[in-house]
Amino acid sequence: MVARHYIVKGRVQGVGFRYFTRRLAAELDIKGWVKNLEDGAVEVHGEGDENPMEQFLSKIKRGPSLALVQEVEAGEVRPEGYQGFSIEW
Q: What is the pLDDT of residue 10?
A: 98
Residue 42 CA: distances (Å) to CA of 29, 37, 59 = 20, 6, 14
pLDDT, average across residues 39-59: 98
Percent of the chain's residues with pLDDT above 90: 100
Helix (H, G, I), strand (E, B) or coil at 39: coil
The CA-based angle 31-35-40, given to 5 degrees, is 145
pTM of the model as a whole: 0.96
Active site residues: 18, 36
pLDDT at 66: 97
